[in-house]
Structure 1
Amino acid sequence: MTVIDTDPGIDDAIGILLAFASPNFTIAGITTVAGNIGIETTTRNASRLLAFAGREDIPVVRGAAAPLSRVGPEPLNLHGTDGIGGVALPHPVRLPDDRQAVKWLADFLMEQPAGIVDVLALGPLTNLARLVLEQPEAARRIGRIIAMGGAIHEHGNVGPRSEFNLWADPEAAAVVVASGLPLVLIPLDVTRRVRATREFVEALSASGKPMPAKVANLIESYFEGEANRESRPLHDPCVMLYALSPQLFRIEELRLSVDTGNGELAGALTISPEGTPVQVALGVDGPAALDLLARHLTTIEASASRRESSTS
């Protein structure tokens, strides 16, 4: 059973639609967090993705609007003013759950057998950190967290050694890493090896099915320009791809700590004997990962997708 914690986000949206398309995921809920863009937009985008996929049975729960103890980042321009590159999606059908994400997560985890709920974390780790701090008994019932975040040997994307999700709330990342909860980290070292080609996008579009066609639109908005033959890295879908096929990834256990300073290394990961053991993906079979993404999108019929005439 899976909960997706997310700040959609173009690549978040691709990962979420992959999870909808695959029978391997039983999605219990989507919790939102501010990150790529503000909380109102990330929550609305999550609800719009559910409306497109005809999955209004899944609750969306509004989460943290700001980091634990610092000012939140400015919205990322590469995701557009709507957070998803201007790709058309229907209006939300179902209102978000009345509870806040931490309360909903705690209630849900306490209702389930310990260890059966995985959290796929695609954005800053604020909601999970608050769960650890405020509801530790519930947090200990999580089976594992698979989180996109960090950079180990790669240069960062918001600083010399800092990746956006951890940089956006370093204190939250430090809480989650130090918690000792089962954690698999998918850093830039892996996600930069998973990029779509123009031919890949064309193949998705040619499938004639709504779900892969929409993912093709999202990936198309993730190319930097017409001349580029490869997209920006498909960061967040790598979380779902790892959950589906961990054998495609090379995992090492590293002892990590998170820099919580205010300088250019905020959110940076350090390997040291004093760090907490974390399972970290350091390699991936990129072509096989893309093939897995395409197979799950094109071999499963999308359920009750909305017609384009109903999109906003």
Structure 2
Amino acid sequence: MKCIIDTDPGADDVLALIMALNSPELEILALTTVEGNARLEHTTANALRLLAYMGRSDIPVYEGESMPLEGEFHHAYEVHGTDGLTVRLPDTEVVPADGNAVDFIIETALASPGEVTLFALGPLTNVARALIREERLKDALKRVYVMGGTGGSSGNVTPYAEFNIYDDPHASNVVFGSGAPVTLLGLNITRQTSIARDDENWFTGETPGERLAARILENWFELGQGERRRFSMHDPVTIMASLRPELIRTQAATLTVETKGEHVGEITADYANGGSVDVAVEVGSEEALAFMRGLLRG
């Protein structure tokens, strides 16, 4: 599966990227970075350092947007740690590829219509700008897997909103309303695929990817000073859903996102009339976690 991964690493982003890098089923054409969990300079550096650590600096990194469609980004350093990660990856001399993330997404998808899958692990700014700039993109992309929304459960930024959607609600409306085929995986699914602090099966660290994942998870729990009991596999779920779609059940819907007021970032879903967004409503939790653990081990 040819794919582009749009990302804002981020602890759970890195776990998703390790899974993708370890998967023989995915051909990663590039990483594209966006501001979100951390400032763009940090998310881009984290992407480059991760690829170097995993021995995959052959995969280019294209830098994307540092401002949402409107307003400013909110960051999550208190959740993910200094520079956006709970670990400091080794420095690398590799630099971002020439060009812009938005242009790369457009050009790559149009060059191979129907063949490129896009994973959106952060705010949807890059994806929205690409869809605005090129109307043919919605039909050229094979599918867009989005980690975002609450799925009807409580939010993780406000009672109504999940972080990625909250950080650029205008971009979310563009993507969901574009007609592009989207699979949306929200907090209702990611909270069902979470790791308990005392689950030692996740901390064996036998391969480079698994060792890094173990360090990230251990430090993430420590950063919470005893208050964090479970780590939700937010972004890794998108990789799992693309490779093992039988483990999730979706329902087609038309989505709108609130862009102002107390409920900013809240998604309203109309299931009665269907739509281009397949919203994940159920997941086989045990099977999904086992699959994700296997990919992290490599």
TM value normalised by structure 2: 0.93
1:165 aligned partner: 164
- The 8 Å contact of residues 257 and 276 in structure 1, kept in 2 or not, is answered as no
Cα offset for 1:297?
A: 2.5
Does residue 105 (structure 1) correspond to residue 105 (structure 2)? The answer is yes
Q: Give the Cα separation in 2 of the matches to 1:277 and 1:105.
A: 20
Give the alignment of 1:1-312 within 5 angstroms.
1-85=2-86, 87-112=87-112, 114-198=113-197, 200=199, 202-223=200-221, 225=224, 227=226, 230-261=229-260, 263-272=261-270, 276-298=275-297, 300=298
Q: Give the Cα separation in 1 of the matches to 2:155 and 2:177.
A: 21
State the one-letter code of the partner of 2:39: G
Q: Give the Cα separation in 1 of the matches to 2:169 and 2:277.
A: 16
- The 8 Å contact of residues 120 and 145 in structure 1, kept in 2 or not, is answered as yes
State the one-letter code of the partner of 1:232: F
Q: Give the Cα separation in 2 of the matches to 1:277 and 1:104.
A: 24
Cα offset for 1:230?
A: 4.0
Decide which moves more: 143-152 or 243-252.
Answer: 243-252
State the one-letter code of the partner of 1:260: T
Cα offset for 1:228?
A: 6.4
Aligned residues: 295
> Is the alpha carbon distance of 1:100 and 1:251 closer, same or farther for their aligned partners in structure 2, counting shifts above 3 Å?
same
Cα offset for 1:59?
A: 0.4
> Is the alpha carbon distance of 1:195 and 1:20 closer, same or farther for their aligned partners in structure 2, counting shifts above 3 Å?
same
- The 8 Å contact of residues 204 and 213 in structure 1, kept in 2 or not, is answered as no
TM value normalised by structure 1: 0.89
Cα offset for 1:53?
A: 0.5
> Is the alpha carbon distance of 1:156 and 1:149 closer, same or farther for their aligned partners in structure 2, counting shifts above 3 Å?
same
Q: Deviations over 1:225-259 (max 9, x none)?
A: 56568422111111111112111112111222111
- The 8 Å contact of residues 256 and 275 in structure 1, kept in 2 or not, is answered as no
State the one-letter code of the partner of 1:168: D
- The 8 Å contact of residues 196 and 219 in structure 1, kept in 2 or not, is answered as no
> Is the alpha carbon distance of 1:246 and 1:222 closer, same or farther for their aligned partners in structure 2, counting shifts above 3 Å?
farther
Cα offset for 1:12?
A: 0.4
- The 8 Å contact of residues 194 and 286 in structure 1, kept in 2 or not, is answered as yes
Cα offset for 1:168?
A: 0.3
Q: Please give the secondary structure, in 2, of the residue aligned with 1:82.
A: helix
Q: Give the Cα separation in 2 of the matches to 1:226 and 1:38.
A: 24
State the one-letter code of the partner of 1:103: D
- The 8 Å contact of residues 252 and 274 in structure 2, kept in 1 or not, is answered as no
Q: Please give the secondary structure, in 1, of the residue aligned with 2:183.
A: strand
Q: Deviations over 1:162-213 (max 9, x none)?
A: 111011001000000000100000011101111113454x334435221111
Q: Which runs of 5+ in 2 are unaligned?
A: none
Q: Deviations over 1:255-290 (max 9, x none)?
A: 2211122x1211211123688441011111222211
Q: Which runs of 5+ in 1 are unaligned?
A: 301-312
State the one-letter code of the partner of 1:255: T
Q: Give the Cα separation in 2 of the matches to 1:194 and 1:292.
A: 11
State the one-letter code of the partner of 1:29: A
> Is the alpha carbon distance of 1:25 and 1:232 closer, same or farther for their aligned partners in structure 2, counting shifts above 3 Å?
same
> Is the alpha carbon distance of 1:197 and 1:109 closer, same or farther for their aligned partners in structure 2, counting shifts above 3 Å?
same
Q: Give the Cα separation in 2 of the matches to 1:44 and 1:84.
A: 11
Q: Among the aligned pairs, what percent are the same residue?
A: 38
